[in-house]
Amino acid sequence: MASEVLMTISKDEVERARLLSELKYELDMQSWRTYENQRGRQEMKQEIVELLKSGKSPEEIIRHYSV
């Protein structure tokens, strides 16, 4: 009976570790997506500034991004 209890505890620990690993993966992916979205917005802002500096009108820039 003691060995059954130990096996049950071991299985529970393995399942707990698997679930924690899955949760960590999901949180890592969410963090990565957030980072990439922020980086993309920053790059777009820099591109817009460069377009304005090059003499493009706001209307031209809007057309550029609405394609």
pLDDT digits (tens, 9 = 90+) for 18-56: 999 999 999 999 999 999 999 999 999 999 999 999 999
Which two structure tokens, joined as six digits, stand for 46? 């820099």
33-58 as b/e: b if 16+ CB within 10 A: eeeeeeeeeeeeeeebeebeeeeeee
For residue 2, is pLDDT > 90? Answer: no
pTM of this structure? 0.62
For residue 63, is pLDDT > 80? Answer: yes
Name which of 45, 6, 25 is nearest 53 in CA terms.
45
